[in-house]
Amino acid sequence: MDADGEPAPGPVADYRPGDFLLAGPHTTVTATGTAAVVAESDPDELAARVTKYLVDTRAPLAVGALPFDPAAAAHIVVPTSVHRTGSVHPFQWDGPRWTPRPPSVTALPSPDGYRRAVAAAVSALRADDELRKVVLARTLHLAFDESVRIDRLLGRLAETNPLGYTYAVPLPDGSTLVGASPELLLSRRGPQVTLNPLAGSLPRGADEATDRANAAALLASRKDQGEHRVVVEAVVEGLRPFCRALSVPAEPSLVSTATMWHLSTVITGTVNDPDVSSLRLAAALHPTPAVCGTPTAAARAAIGELEPFERGFYSGLVGWCTAEGDGEWVVAIRSAEVSGNGMRLFSGAGIMPDSDPAAELAETDAKFGTLLRALGV
């Protein structure tokens, strides 16, 4: 705290509306201003244009987001000012809490509607041998009687998610995508790449015994192990043309957030071409079955039929890259779009042939908890 009782200067405490922030376990990047914007859907053209601009201007890095739909344009910004540091953790938010009056809440779809959508997806999966997984999401729209204090929300998210990636990304429509993702899609440091796909989840328990039981149940779950295997296989196949010496553990491990247990696999490799950027690699892998399903085209078609909203940048990617190709890209989950006094929260679950609609609804409820707990709602 400083002499005036305000939070000490730092990447999270100094956040201002319109800034970019990605605070992870190892690296924190903040950026302000806009020197250029690259809006492109073709992954090769996107990466080439961003790299050329960084080389020509000697800007330190570019930041931004890719939408869920690969056919939609990315939003990559070359900022006027960049600050890159190590991890902010352990982090404690010493600033004032945002304590608004309880908001009005609108669910889309309704809980019953989501259960029906899951049941429809299960029927489609059982009827089609080629369709292996579909990820279905739902939303909550919160309407407050005052503007959402993104700065204070980010402080609470960083405090309560020390192993995740707290982020705020300005979007083309003037809204801001905020969240605390547990999932690293890809990072590149020199020739080395690291990926950490997550798939297969159960809520944390309310007490220690229940929590341990849920963790053990997740490791033993045939449904969740199958869901995880689908994601790992897809990520490896997507990465193989770009990398050699891939290292893939035989079995997943457990990782946890404040609200969820996840199955996790850390994959490492070495790029074949030193000129391929982290942005190009990330675009090649997106969307993975962790946020879409598999096969991609069939899963996206099912999502289009069963989800009554457009995802936009939810379940897309947020991150940064340098001219040399280094960078970090995380999956934009546990997120919300913030605009004025409104927040649209997103939460999804991977649907498999043996999924239970009530259990999938409970999983999405638990995932909403990341933001709702930070809000104190």
Q: What is the pLDDT, as a whole number, of residue 13?
A: 87
Q: What is the pLDDT, as a whole number, of residue 94?
A: 86
pLDDT per residue as tens digits for the range 101-148: 999 999 999 999 999 999 999 999 999 989 999 999 999 999 999 999
For the chain, list residues with pLDDT below 50.
Answer: 1-8
Look up the domain containing 109 and give its range: 20-89+104-375
The answer to the question of residue 5 being in a domain is no
Catalytic residue among 45, 130, 146, 183: 183
CA atoms within 13 A on the CB side of 68: 27
The answer to the question of residue 190 being in a domain is yes
Q: Which structure tokens are listed for 162?
A: 């020390």
Q: What is the pLDDT, as a whole number, of residue 166?
A: 97
Helix (H, G, I), strand (E, B) or coil at 284: helix
Q: What is the pLDDT, as a whole number, of residue 97?
A: 85
pLDDT per residue as tens digits for the range 288-329: 999 999 999 999 999 999 999 999 999 999 999 999 999 999
CB atoms within 10 A of CB 145: 10
Catalytic residue flag (residue 367): no
Residue with tokens 């399903």: 293
Q: Which structure tokens are listed for 197?
A: 């796909």
The answer to the question of residue 232 being in a domain is yes
The answer to the question of residue 196 being in a domain is yes
Catalytic residue among 6, 40, 45, 133: 133
Q: Which structure tokens are listed for 151?
A: 């700065």
Total domains in the chain come to 1
Q: What is the pLDDT, as a whole number, of residue 2?
A: 33
Contact 133, 223 (CB under 8 A): no
Catalytic residue flag (residue 133): yes
**CATH number for position 33:** 3.60.120.10
Q: Where are the alpha helices (DSSP H) in 178-332?
A: 208-220, 222-239, 278-285, 296-306
- Name the pTM for this structure: 0.94
The answer to the question of residue 13 being in a domain is no
Amino acid symbol at 171: L
Residue with tokens 């200067």: 9
The answer to the question of residue 99 being in a domain is no
Q: What is the pLDDT, as a whole number, of residue 320?
A: 98
The answer to the question of residue 94 being in a domain is no
Helix (H, G, I), strand (E, B) or coil at 93: coil
The answer to the question of residue 159 being in a domain is yes
Listed residue (132, 271, 297, 268) closest to 199, CA to CA: 132
Listed in sequence order, the residues at least 6 apart from 184 whose beta carbon sits closer than 8 Å to its beta carbon are: 24, 165, 194, 195, 196, 328, 329, 330, 331
Q: What is the pLDDT, as a whole number, of residue 322?
A: 97
DSSP 8-state class, residue 204 = P
